[in-house]
Amino acid sequence: MQDKVAIRLLGVTKSYRLYSSPLLMGADLLRIPFFRKRIESCPLFQALKGVDLTVERGERLGIVGRNGAGKTTLLKLITGNFLPTSGEVEINGQVQSLMDAGLGFHPEFSGRQNIRASLIYNGLSETESVAAENEIVEFVELGEFIDQPIKTYSLGMATRLAFATATAIKPEVLIIDEVLSAGDGYFAAKSAERVKRLTSGGTTLLLVSHSTDQILQYCRNAIWVDQGRIVMRGTAMEVVKAYQAYLQDLEETKLADRNLVLAKRSSQGTAKSAGDSAAPALSRWTGRGGLNIQQVRVRDADKRDRFLFTTGQSVEFELEIESEVDGRFDCQYHFNIYSADGRNVTSHMSAPDQFELRTGDRRIVRLVYDRLLLGNGTYVVTAGLFRHMDQRDHSTAERYDLLDRSFEFQVVSKYRLNESLVFHPSRWIAPGGEIIQDVTEDTLQEGKQNPAFSTP
């Protein structure tokens, strides 16, 4: 059983002293007694807390978790860069790690010179080194840049070289920390094939990536690390789903808090003040007065405030307005939705609405999407009240109040890599006229014909 284990961690803890100054850090490293009390007064941070982990030979294990969760510390214990504060770390086999593009390369040496130095370090004979060097040069496809200094390389070029060099000699344990994220699509495809070949030959893979698609592509199993502990282990699909749901809950909570602050600012009639950089921005454009926007809410079909939706779900945008004077009003309601990069995705202008309100009275109107057709992404909303707005000539517009790009919501679909802004209703038709697939608004509902729009 022991020969099947590549990595074993038992009760591993790693703590760091949070020094108040570089002087104390140096004094601790040099064990200077004079500074001992001041050093011991610095707080300890536990990066890992009693971690137990067993990885079998040939296993492909993905590691997910937020920044600061302890993922990189875990890998550095396995590579031997760190020693545990307590517990046992057992490694059976040679470890090759890719934890930074270009790590171990000399910036003044050429790519070819760094390749040769790495191969010599790994103990290859002259004949073996020549064959491995030729294979690496062919894989990276850097052309004449292979004989240029590493310091002239882009991140993508350094990534290719680091990956190819680390995997040219079949390692028993291969550790990759975010490096694959720097490559382009072509490089990713070549790397995937190379990793597949290595792991099929018995190499153990540990992969840390914020790209859950990479975890699913490369790994069979995964662990989720949070606050220095392994909170879940299972198949890559099980862990990725749970982790994504957790991230979505966090994001929705963050958006809810942000929009709550904006709603409060809106009801108070205030915008972001100078120097108030931590607060979300409420961009208000006042007009002729008489009506103002008190709140903008984004809700699901059950009237619950939501800020994260799936494609095909029902969405309501609720606009609460208040009268500043007694009177009879002519009002057109306006909603604009923009993508995060500023593109105008869709606009809605209502027909004129006539009503009477007394000072302080409020009126609520709703814009309803029975089926949300937007794709993956973050969207911002502009809400406006106009006495008159001609869509053919905006120069004649008479505005009561407008909140410009001040409220956010997010949309996810089943396919995280799909960059479409909109999923348009459509039909696929075969030569004989039969319908292959009908992607209408009805089929956007969860659980119906088209799986592309089901809840993740």
Separation between Cα atoms, residue 176 and residue 241, nearest integer Å = 22
pLDDT at 353: 93
Under CATH, which number does the domain 2-243 receive?
3.40.50.300
Among candidate residues 215, 108, 98, 107, the one with its CA nearest the CA of residue 165: 98
The whole-angstrom separation of Cα 444 and Cα 55 is: 42
- Distance CA(210)–CA(243), nearest Å, equals 11
Supply the pLDDT for residue 385: 92
- Predicted pLDDT at 100: 54
The predicted model scores a pTM of 0.58
pLDDT at 345 over 80: yes
In this structure, are residues 99 and 179 in contact, taking their beta carbons and an 8 Å threshold?
Answer: yes
Q: What is the pLDDT of residue 214?
A: 78
Domain residue extents for the chain: 2-243, 282-412
Average pLDDT (429-439) is 83
Q: What tens digit of pLDDT does each residue of 358-407 get?
A: 999 999 999 999 989 998 888 988 899 998 887 777 667 888 988 887 78
For range 243-272, the mean pLDDT: 65
- Residue pair 376/453 in contact (Cβ under 8 Å)? The answer is no
* DSSP conformation letters of 329-361: EEEEEEEEEEETTS-EEEEEEPPPEEEEE-TT-
Neighbour count for residue 324 (Cβ, 10 Å): 15
Q: Flag whether pLDDT at 334 surpasses 70.
A: yes
The DSSP annotation for 62-108 comes to EEE--TTSSHHHHHHHHHTSS--SEEEEEE-S-EEEESSTTTT--TT
Q: What is the pLDDT of residue 201?
A: 78
pLDDT at 53: 94
Sequence-distant contacts of 246-249: CB under 8 A, at least 24 apart? 247/66, 248/308, 248/412
Q: Give the tokens for residue 359.
A: 């000072």
pLDDT (tens digit, 9 = 90+) per residue, 253-266? 776 666 666 556 55
As a CATH number, domain 282-412 is 2.70.50.60
